[in-house]
Structure 1
Amino acid sequence: MTIESACPLPLGSDAPDDDTLVDVLARARTVAVVGASPNPERTSHRIALWLMDHTDYEIYLVNRAAGDTEIRGHAFYSSLDEVPVDVDIVDVFRRSEHVPPVVDEAIAVGAPVVWMQLGVRHPEAAHKAAAAGATVVQNRCLKVEYARLADRIAAATA
C-alpha cells in the first residue's frame, strides 16, 4: 500500500474555495468531532485537543464506543442527536466506508457543514449532504485549514 492509497491526496473538488472555508470557519461556534477517541495516541484525540486549545469553538465529542470517558472534562456522546446544542461543523474521523450514516445523522440534526478529515472521502455521501444544503469538505484536516486561514478567520470575526 502506498501513502497515496492510505491517504489520498486532496483534490480541488474536495473542498470549497478559501473564501468559503473562511466564511464557514468564522461563522461556526460548535464542532462535533465524530469518531473522537479517548486514546491520546489517536489523531482524532489530538485534533480535538488542538481545537479546544486554539479556537473559540465549543467542542463536542461523538463516539458510541467511548463510554463514560472524557477528554478534559468533555464527555462523549453516542450520536449527533444526543449533542445538546445545534452543531455547526460535523468533523468526521471515521473511515470512508462509515461516512454515509454520519452524513445521515448530520442531515437529521441540520448541521450546515460536514467536514471529512484528511484521508476521508465519500463522493456519494458528500453529494447527499450537499443536496441537503450542507457545505461539504472532504479529505482536509480541520486543524491544518484553520491554522492556514487563521489570519483571515480572525479578520472575518473582528
Structure 2
Amino acid sequence: MNEPEVIRAMLGRPPSDPRTIAVIGLSSNPDKPSNYVPSYMQQHGYRIIPVNPLVESVLGERSFASLADLPTKPDVVNVFRLPKFIPAIVDEMLELGFKNLWVQQGIIHREAALKAEAGGIWVVMDRCIMVEHRFSDLS
C-alpha cells in the first residue's frame, strides 16, 4: 500500500496517458474537497466520472449511482466516503475487476485495504490525489 511506483502508475502522465478517475462521493459543493480535488485533476487532463446517486451531474459530467452503473472501466477509483463504506466499495471493485483504489487523505480502513490487495487491487490510502499530483513531476 502507498508504494511510490503505485502512486505514479495510478497518476499516469496526462495528456499523453490520460487517466479516467471514477470519484465516489464527488460533491456538487465547490467548497468541499470532494469537489475541488476532482476539479483540480480534471483541469490537469484527467477524465472524471462522478459516482454519487444524489446528484445528476457535476463538473460537467453525468453522475452514476454506483460503480456497476459506469459506462466504462475507470483506471482509478478515488473515494471520498467514510471508512465504514470502504469494505463494500472493495467488494464491488473485486466483482467488477477494477484494479486501482485511491482512498483520500484521512480515510483509513486497513482490513479493506488488505482484502483489496489480496484480490489484486493496488491501493493508495490516506493520501490526497491532488497533493500527490502537485508534488510529483506530473503536474
| TM-score (normalizing by structure 1) | 0.79
Shift of 1:19: 2.6
Deviations 1:43-67 (A, max 9, x none): 101111111112x22110001222x
Deviations 1:68-119 (A, max 9, x none): 2x22321110001111111111101001111111111222222111111000
The answer on whether the counterparts of 1:28 and 1:88 sit within 8 Å (CA) in structure 2 is no
Shift of 1:28: 6.3
Name the SS for the 2:107 alignment partner: coil
**Equivalent in 88, 94, 104 of residue 101 of structure 1:** 88
Instruction: Extract unaligned runs of 5+ from structure 2.
Output: none
Instruction: Tell me the equivalent position of 2:6.
Output: 20
Instruction: Extract unaligned runs of 5+ from structure 1.
Output: 1-13
**Does 2:131 align with 1:134?**
no
Shift of 1:128: 1.0
**Does 2:50 align with 1:61?**
yes
Distance in 1, Cα, partners of 2:47 & 2:28 = 18
Instruction: Tell me the equivalent position of 1:118.
Output: 105
Distance in 1, Cα, partners of 2:124 & 2:18 = 14
Name the SS for the 1:77 alignment partner: coil
CA RMSD in angstroms comes to: 1.6
Instruction: Tell me the equivalent position of 1:49.
Output: 39
Distance in 2, Cα, partners of 1:146 & 1:126 = 21
Letter paired with 1:22: R
Shift of 1:138: 0.8
- Percent identical residues: 35
Larger Rg: 1
Distance in 2, Cα, partners of 1:23 & 1:40 = 28
The answer on whether the counterparts of 2:102 and 2:129 sit within 8 Å (CA) in structure 1 is yes
Letter paired with 2:43: D
- Which shifted more, 105-114 or 137-146? 105-114
Distance in 2, Cα, partners of 1:112 & 1:102 = 12
Report the number of matched residues.
135
Bigger fraction of residues in helix: 1
| TM-score (normalizing by structure 2) | 0.89
